[in-house]
């Protein structure tokens, strides 16, 4: 059983920062040629590409709004034109908005759903069409969240979107199971990124809160999430339609808050 992606091409959406950049780097280190997708942060995307190339890998930055069907179709076409196939699609791009449900503006709700759920469907559909036409199929990994399986204060649009991603993943896995196209999801818990640092204050939690609520008593890391995607993206595991929770034990813990953890 190989853990490399030599000779394969991968798209990682929202790959200019955070978990997405870690996934792109990991797949490149394992031999994949990687399309680093971004919507507006070209400089950051090019920095990820430069890092991959400096380490001997192959990557290119491609702009596309994941909620735009034409943009995503063009990105898939460009990937196939450049590398000859699309073997791995990681639908990672996402966003959130915070606030009491009764106060959330409908435009904010729609934008989260457009990016976090509809964008994942568009990515799956475009990748699926290509993979279904290939002799060796391919692998799709959707980045969901543990928040897609439970309620979280102040995050109604995000929780709803990620719940949709989870069941979309299962549905597409069933539809494409006989066509050598696997579809799985990663459901991260709280992962330490620059985005976490920017939002945790407004979200109403501290680092100590996360340590006390997580059985492993820490945040997850970007590298750990990239390792999970590396597993789910392989086509030789007999795994499809699964949701891999990488949350440090959060969703398994009935006790939930550990006062003795500093």
Residues forming the active site: 158
56, burial (CB in 10 Å: exposed 0-12, middle 13-18, buried 19+): exposed
Nearest 5°: phi and psi at 215?
Answer: -55, -35
């Amino acid at each position: 059983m190989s853990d490399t992606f030599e000779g394969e091409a991968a798209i990682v959406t929202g790959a200019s920062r955070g978990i997405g950049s870690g996934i792109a780097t990991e797949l490149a280190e394992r031999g994949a040629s990687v399309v680093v997708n971004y919507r507006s942060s070209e400089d950051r995307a090019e920095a990820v590409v430069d890092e991959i190339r400096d380490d001997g890998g192959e990557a290119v930055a491609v702009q596309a709004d994941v909620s735009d069907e034409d943009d995503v179709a063009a990105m898939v076409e460009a990937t196939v034109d450049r590398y000859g196939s699309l073997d791995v699609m990681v639908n990672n791009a996402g966003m959130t908005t915070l606030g009491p449900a009764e106060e959330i503006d409908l435009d904010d709700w729609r934008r989260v759903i457009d990016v976090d759920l509809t964008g994942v469907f568009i990515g799956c559909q475009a990748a699926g069409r290509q993979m279904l036409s290939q002799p060796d199929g391919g692998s799709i990994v959707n980045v969901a969240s543990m928040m897609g399986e439970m309620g979280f204060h102040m995050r109604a649009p995000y929780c709803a979107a990620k719940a949709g991603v989870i069941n979309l993943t299962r549905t597409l896995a069933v539809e494409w199971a006989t066509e050598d196209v696997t579809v799985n999801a990663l459901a991260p818990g709280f992962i330490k990124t620059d985005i976490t640092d920017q939002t945790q204050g407004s979200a109403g939690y501290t680092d100590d809160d996360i340590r006390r609520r997580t059985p492993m008593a820490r945040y997850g890391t970007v590298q750990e999430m990239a390792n999970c995607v590396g597993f789910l993206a392989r086509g030789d595991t007999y795994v499809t339609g699964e949701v891999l929770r990488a949350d440090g034990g959060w969703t398994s813990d009935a006790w939930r808050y550990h006062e003795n953890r500093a």
